[in-house]
Chain A
Amino acid sequence: MSELRRTVIPIGPYHPLQEEPEYFKLYVEGERVVDIDIEVGYLHRGVERLSEDKHYDQIAHLVERICGICSTSHPFAYINAVEDAAGFTSKLPGRVKLIRTIIAEMERVHSHFLWLGLAGHFLGYNTVWMWAWKYREPLLDMFELISGNRQHYSMFKVGGVRRDINKEDIPQLLKVLDEIQRANDMFKGAVMDDPVIQARTKKVCILTKENAEAYCVVGPTARASGVDIDVRRDDPYAAYDMLDWKVITQKEGDVFAKLVVRVLEVYESISIIKQALHKLDDFNDGIDMQVKEIPPGDGIGRHEAPRGEVIHFVRSDGTNRPVRHKIRAPSYVNIASNKIAVVGNTVSDAALALAAVDPCYCCTDRSIVIDVNTNKTIMTGKDLVRLSQEKTLELRKKLG
């Protein structure tokens, strides 16, 4: 059924611009990718420059809109940076730490489910896509319950959070978490044990540990290659050192390893949220430190976003605006590693590899494929996805 609708099924919230420089230029010889050119900058809106004109409260609102999927990660790292510059990280109320942790982990679950849907789509399993996104909805409802908005929750402020989590809402939250855990069990069974998916993703587009370290990759992309880093454990902030959880790593560095890391991380996140919700009763020390000024100084703030380490640097001169605000999102380092991971693989695996590092959307579809022998563009991003889906179909027929 999906073949009939292939041409009108949405590829995603990105548009296949047929002409002009694209994000990923894949050079192929026959079936193999021999080189890849990466061009970024389509989403460059000059946020760092805008930051210098805004005061600290407004910037939290601004940086949320850097990326919609990890919309809480940027404010989290930014707030960590400001609090590091000002020197009151250790004085934060416990309730603030717990609420921040809960919001961040809920975002991780929603982001991983979103990615799972995308990966399913690229593999040709559109049902996985619909399911994954269907189970995101109760989570988004919970965000709306807590913060008033499904996306861009605006929960963070310097020295606190903007809204509290009401005691009456906690049972409903726990119920939704159970529902999501059951959904994740379903994905784990359906996706990870499927022989076709294993055949499509194992040993495909491997990023070795050495290359992962050379490119300084972060997040699940790094952990899938055996690089054991996680900011939540290494440089603890908020409530992560008050709760019991573990870091998930795999060794192989292929697309399957990245899938496994994300699916298992969802379980850890659900566990963290449940622990934090139960601990909320023990902390009634307020949700706002009422910070009136930021003393001069430099601050570095980090957060483990769903895609990896987000780092913000803030320099304050004592006024109500920062002198300098530097932002580095995790996809910045992860996308660059595609240069190594995609080369040498077939074109039909390319779409998977580009999606496996979980870049921000607008990246993956802006791709074209160039034949090195004729120097002509032979395919666009849509074709890449189609090729990937066709390969899955063939494998399914073969494996019966």
Chain B
Amino acid sequence: MKITTKALTKSIWVYHCATSPCNNCDIEILDALTPRHDLERFGIQLVGSPRHADALLVTGVPTRKTAPRLKLVYEQTAKPCFVIAIGSCACGGNMFRHAYNFVKTVDEIIPVDAYVPGCPPKPEAMIMGVVKLLAKLKNGK
């Protein structure tokens, strides 16, 4: 495993990128920061710029207006950057797949490393997704 990837498994800085969600996944992500779950004690922090991010949390369904921006945000991140698709919309489009404004699924725009399905996934499910990804990284990709 490369040195940079190994270094990442200690403390992850995540950047949250919403394409066009209903906001429930976003609220649950924020909930994971509140006192009950408190992600920060694992060293996981939300950052305000993609350039500082080690992981990208993507929610929502890419529409015509937001799909190009998703690609732009991904290109701005410093590699390696892991992409986690949070919620059924990001995983596969959910029920908006046949909408006229729907473009492609997230994994057809940028490479996705972990999928956390649910509508919305509970904070525990999200933490599990992140932990599983970290374990996969530790064992070598």
Contact = CB atoms under 8 A, between A and B. Distances in A.
In the complex, are there CB atoms of A and B closer than 8 Å?
Answer: yes
B35 A130 contact: yes
B10 interface: no
A71 B22 contact: yes
Interface of B: 13, 15-18, 20-31, 33-36, 45-49, 59, 61, 63, 65-66, 69, 72-73, 94-96, 98-102, 119-120, 122
Contacts of A14: 18, 26
Interface string A46-71: 11011001000000011001111101
Nearest to B98: A50
Contacts of B47: 7-8
Interface residues of A, number: 43
Interface of A (DSSP majority class): loop
Contacts of A8: 13, 45-48
A397 interface: no
A67 B72 CA distance: 26
Interface stretch (A37-45, A223-231, A304-312): A37-45
Interface centre among B21, B33, B59, B63 (most CB of A within 10 A): B21
Contact of A13 (B27, B69, B94, B96): B27
B48 A16 contact: yes
B77 to A, nearest CB: 12
B113 to A, nearest CB: 19
5 contacts: A8-B13, A14-B18, A45-B63, A150-B122, A152-B120
Contacts of A61: 95
A326 to B, nearest CB: 16
A127 to B, nearest CB: 11
A68 B120 contact: yes
Nearest to B89: A65
A44 B94 contact: no
Closest CB pairs A-B (n = 6):
A13-B26, A68-B24, A46-B99, A10-B46, A68-B23, A68-B22
A45 B26 contact: no
B29 A13 contact: yes
A155 B126 CA distance: 25
Interface centre among B22, B31, B102 (most CB of A within 10 A): B22
A62 B96 CA distance: 9
